[in-house]
Every structure is written in C-alpha cells, then in structure tokens.
Chains A and B, each alone.
Chain A
Amino acid sequence: MLKITNLHASVAGNEILKGLNLELKAGEVHAIMGPNGAGKSTLGNVLAGREGYEVTQGEIIFNGKNLLELEPEERACEGVFLAFQYPVEIPGVNNTYFLRAALNAQRKYRGEEILDSVAFLRLVREKLKVLHIGDELLHRAVNEGFSGGEKKRNEIFQMAVLEPALAILDETDSGLDIDALKTVAEGVNRLRSKDRGMIVVTHYQRLLDYIVPDKVHVLADGKLVATGGAELALKLEEQGYAWLEDGGITPLDSQPAVPTARP
C-alpha cells in the first residue's frame, strides 16, 4: 500500500529526513518511535504534503500512485489521513459542517454521490456509537475550546467518518491523561481493518500498550535505525533512546520484508 524509498526531506533548508525507507501493507499497524528531533512529525507532514516540507530525494508510492505529485487535498481524497499532534481551532465553523464538507469533497473526488445532511447525520451517529463518543462534539466549532482529550478524540472521530486507507497518527498520545489515552486507543483499535494501514508516531511506549503494533521502527537522525516487533518498544522504554547513540544494541528481530537501518 505504501512504499517509501530513500526519502530525504528538509524544512527551511535543514535536512530532517535523510534516506528513510518504509513499507507498509494494508491491514498493518506500524509504530514509529524515536527521540525528539528525529524527524517523526516531519514524516507525517511530508506524507500529507504540508507546505514548507521539501522533498529533495526519494519517492513515495501509495496505492500505485506517486504521492509526491499530488496536492495535499488530493492526497486526502486518495485516502491519506493525518491525525494532528496539535489539531487547530477554526472558530465559528461547526464541527459537523466541516466534516460533511470534507467527506463530500472526498466523495466527489472519487466520483461518489455526495451525502445530504440527513444521510450524513445518520452516518455520524453510527460512527459515534462505534467509538463510544457522545454527540456533544457535533454542535461545537471545530476544536474551539476543546480540551486536549477532546481534540484528539475529534481527530479519531474524523478518521472514523472519512475512512482513510492510510492513517498517520502523529503523537496522538501527547498531552493525554491515562483515561483519555485509553479512549483514544480504543477508538483507533476499532478502526483497525484489513484494508487500512496505520502509522502510529509516538515518543513513548505507553500508547503501544493499548495499540499493539505489527511492527515498531526506531527513527533517529532522519533514518529508521531499527525495526522489530512490539517488544522493541518495551526495550526502548527500559533503556531509553540513549542506547541508539551509544550504538550498544543491535536491531531486534529485524525482518527482511522491511528495510531496516543501513550500516
């Protein structure tokens, strides 16, 4: 579904990603961990096509298409969804209205019929039920005055409605207390499906107690330096990221299917 080859990207002239390789199959959940400044958020932004993130080398093939040639809104319509680390507030714009505009833009792009408000509301109610979220978020402006937990829940809710092929969760756990974290993780787990790939970007292992990944990658200095199973995350939790720099530990359980650290 997603193949990233030798990706180099810079922000304001500074190279942040320095030859990243990653392959994700439909149905898989990959975690990307790494110390601050490793380029974790950059990866999400590059995939989503944010302005200011310049790809200098490499390619990203998503469902057979060259992602780098697409505008950000086209990528979204192709099924790339980024759950933001800091979802922005859009004052005065109703959350439901926003989401319907988004869904209908995507449906239009795919040549599907647009949903009227009745059909849309029916869909929204279903999704809320599945996610065990109340409908209070529907009546408010997009993220305006939301608590940190509400903002993250809203991201997951949007993801549920938009049903993306690829979801990138950028530090979705940051700023959440344990209860909020559980709610969000539960939501994510409910959205796992054989058709959907997920990349969970996180600094801490604790999220992975609730969202158990198929693979864990360690991103350091713009490259994936280690790849393993869920146990790699625990190892990191135990020993911190410092060992990466010490070069003390070799990748656990490295799998040939996934490009790993280059020597």
Chain B
Amino acid sequence: MSGETSTIDKMVEQKYQHGFVTDIESDTIPPGLSADVIRAISARKSEPQWLLEWRLKAYDHWLGMEQPDWAHLNIEAIDFQAISYFSAPKSDKDRPQSLDDVDPKLLETYDKLGVPLHERARLAGVAVDAVFDSVSVGTTFKAELRKAGVIFCSFSEAVQDHPELVQKYLGSVVPQRDNYFAALNCAVFTDGSFVFIPKGVRCPMELSTYFRINAAETGQFERTLIVAEEGSHVSYLEGCTAPMRDENQLHAAVVELVALEDANIKYSTVQNWYPGDENGKGGIYNFVTKRGDCRGARSRISWTQVETGSAITWKYPSCILRGDDSVGEFYSVALTNNYQQADTGTKMIHIGRNTRSKIISKGISAGHGQNAYRGLVRITPRASNARNYTQCDSMLIGKKCGAHTFPYIEVRNPTAKVEHEATTSRIGEDQLFYCLQRGISEEDAVSMIVDGFCKQVFRELPMEFAVEAKALLEVSLEGAVG
C-alpha cells in the first residue's frame, strides 16, 4: 500500500484539465484604470448616460476604499493598473446574430469544455447564454422563453432593451459602496446575465450560463441580475472553466437576486476557474459578491455552490430575509488543493418575522490547501420566531492543509432559535481500509468517501449539474489519499 505522502504527491501533480487558450484576436482596451477607461467601456457598449454616471460614481467610491484584509487569505498585492478592463472577440464588429454567426473557433472552445450549446443544450432542455470574455455571443431558447414572458439575455442587451428594469433593480441588493470589489465591479463591469421572471410564471427550463475567462491579463467583471416577480419560480445554473495562464487573473463579479412575494429563486454554481499550478503559481483571484434579497413575504432564495477552482476564492452568497416567512438557504462544497485558498460562507440576515435559514457547508482541504468557512447569522430585533440551522463540516486530506471555521452569530430577538453544528475530520484511514478490503482502489475509495461527504449539497443541484460536480470533484482529487 502506498503511503499517504506519496499518494498526496500524486494528487498534487494533478493537472488542470481545461488549460488551453483559444487564438482569437481580442479587441482589448490597454491596461489601466481611470475615468476615461470607464467612459471608453461605456461608449463601446453604447450605454445610456445614467449608467455611465452610475459607473463613475462607483469608481469615485472605489478610489476612497481599501482592499479588505480580514479574510483568512494570503493575497499578493494586485496591481489594478496592470489589468485590462475590456476585451471582446474581434468579430464583435458585426455582432453574431445567432450561433451560426459565431466564430467556429469559439464553438470549438466550447466543445472542448463540453458546453452544451447546440443539440446538447436542446437535449438537456437547457438555455445557454454563453459569455466569452466580456461579450455575450450566443443565446439559445430565447423564443421559447419569450413565450413564457421570461427575459433571459446578456446584461448589455438588457441595458438596451429593458433599461427601466435594469435601472430599477441594479444596485438595489448590493449597493455600490458595499465592499471594495463590488465597487470595482460597479465601475467596470462588462457583461453578464439578466433574468426577469414576470408575476406568476414558472420558468419553463433551467437557465444556464457558462462563463469563461480567455484573453490574458483581462479581468472579467461580470454583472448578473435576476428578478423574480410575485409568485414566480426560476432555477439558474452558472458554471465556468478558464484556460491555463501564468498571470493571476482578477475576477470580481457581482450577482444580485430579487425575490418578490412568494417568488422562488434557486441559484447553482459550479466554479472551476484555473486554480494555479502545483506550486501555487498562477490561478484566478475570485472575489465575488453574491446576494439575494427576499423582498416579499414567503419568498425563497437558495444558493448552491461547488467551488473547486481559483487560486483564491472570496465569496459569501448571502440572503437578506426581509419578507415575513421568507426562507434563505446556502449549500456549499468548497475544495482547496495544492496552494489554493478559499474563504467562503454566507450571511443570513433575518429581518422579517418567522424567517428561516439553513446553511450546509462542506469544506475539503488537500495538499497545502487552506479552507475557511466564514458565516454570519444575524437576527434583528423585529425578526420574531426566526430560525437558523447551520452545519459546517470540514474534511482534511493529508497533513499539510488547513480547515478553519469563523461563525458569527448575532441574535437581537429572544424568540430566535439558532443552531450551529461543526465537525472536522481527517479522511479516515479506517474508512479507506474498509473500501480497499472490499477490492475498491484507493482513488475510487477517496472519491466515494468525499462524494458521500458532499451528498447533502449535491442533492440540491439540478441533476445534470450534480453529475458534473461529482466528476469535477473526482478530477480535482485524482490520486488523493489520506
């Protein structure tokens, strides 16, 4: 039986499988950040004046802010002037109207990634709005969605076609000044998705967006806004991979969800950005602000995330439980391997009466990976009969990794019930031997044990995503034995 060290070494050598670069000429604004750069971005996207002003205001805020350092992360200084803030495929000049107009090389890239754009999308019943670098190039199933009254388009299109909706909801969940990276995103965001589900409509399919960073040194600043009107339902899937690069690439996305009365939003993420090599060189810096506002009574927002990529993950998908009887959920699997670092968790802010929240967090650390859960449960004075259940489990694979838990609980109403359970375990030698003794190989045993550990989260994912997430975890842990 090979020893723990050697098998972990094997895992450490596991290469990123999606590391390739597509050779497409990029129309890129030179590196640097200034009001002029922001004007240039806005002009290229033919944005209305109010949006430009909104961006410039955010930029002003950002200039007066400092990069936060409270996370359990070791981050090299980011040179914001070395980053190019806009990159679009050259063929943007005559923007592709349909998939047939899409650069075949780009489609090839999607093929390599297994993005189901054509028949695969139809077979899977998934509408895909693919973001390649910064401009959306293909959106499928639009007609069918339009029939249902659902708007699902790129953020840029929404600005042109539905400015009143964008203006009404943009920044209403994550204020410009919310945090350093959110402010930056407000100033320079390029594209993302916009979803609007009208009153009483149950979205007829899962909405899915695949993101991908491509051009070198180009930070991608996505902006996503999902609005679910009274009594509507939507399930949104987001997945991404990124090509291999030496430079650290900055990714600072903002996602805002608004759920009105009786609305239900389910947001699922599989995040597989390039994590850096086995020595911790390269990899994506992923600073994400995701927040949902349960604005109406009995509304529900559920976040599910599987985070296996990025050199650094700083991400706390949260719920503001404003409406009475509203429900917030957070299900997370975060895996760090090699020198990856993750500081992730959630915030559940209970404002309405009888609000409920549930947090299930599973952290897996391998190699030299550092994994922190950071969560806030706040029960405000008005939130009578609020309930929270938090379960926070960490699994260590090998002896050089770390798991950390930072739960913050603030209760200002005596009727609240808040439960917190936490466990940390090393992947059991006993469990491993049990599997081996039945004839199962070490690798299969580890992925089986890890998969079982994550089961509670995986079962929250839509079926096809759950399969993908499981495969991703297996790839990320190939050769890992504790």
Contact = CB atoms under 8 A, between A and B. Distances in A.
Given A73-B442, A92-B455, A92-B456, A48 B437 contact: yes
A101 B437 CA distance: 12
Q: Which of B433, B438, B453 has the most CB of A within 10 A?
A: B438
B433 A72 contact: yes
A88 B439 contact: no
A138 interface: no
Given A76-B439, A88-B431, A105-B441, A93 B1 contact: no
Nearest to B1: A51
Interface stretch (B78-86, B209-217, B337-345, B444-452): B444-452
Nearest to A70: B1
Contact of B436 (A72, A84, A91, A98): A72
Interface residues of A, number: 31
Nearest to B445: A73
B448 A98 contact: yes
Contacts of B440: 73, 101-102, 105
B163 interface: no
B372 interface: no
A109 interface: yes
B439 A109 contact: yes
Interface residues of B, number: 25
A71 B3 CA distance: 12
B406 interface: no
Contact of A72 (B430, B431, B437, B444): B437
A162 interface: yes
Contacts of A244: none
Contacts of A102: 435, 438-440
B429 interface: yes
B452 A105 contact: no
B383 interface: no
Contact of B454 (A71, A92, A106, A158): A92
A149 to B, nearest CB: 18
B212 to A, nearest CB: 31
A49 B453 contact: no
Given A50-B433, A90-B434, A102-B438, 16 more contacts: A71-B1, A72-B433, A73-B442, A77-B439, A81-B437, A84-B434, A92-B456, A93-B451, A101-B448, A102-B439, A105-B439, A105-B440, A105-B444, A106-B439, A109-B439, A141-B452
Interface of A: 48-51, 71-73, 76-77, 81-82, 84, 87-93, 98-99, 101-103, 105-106, 109, 141-142, 158, 162
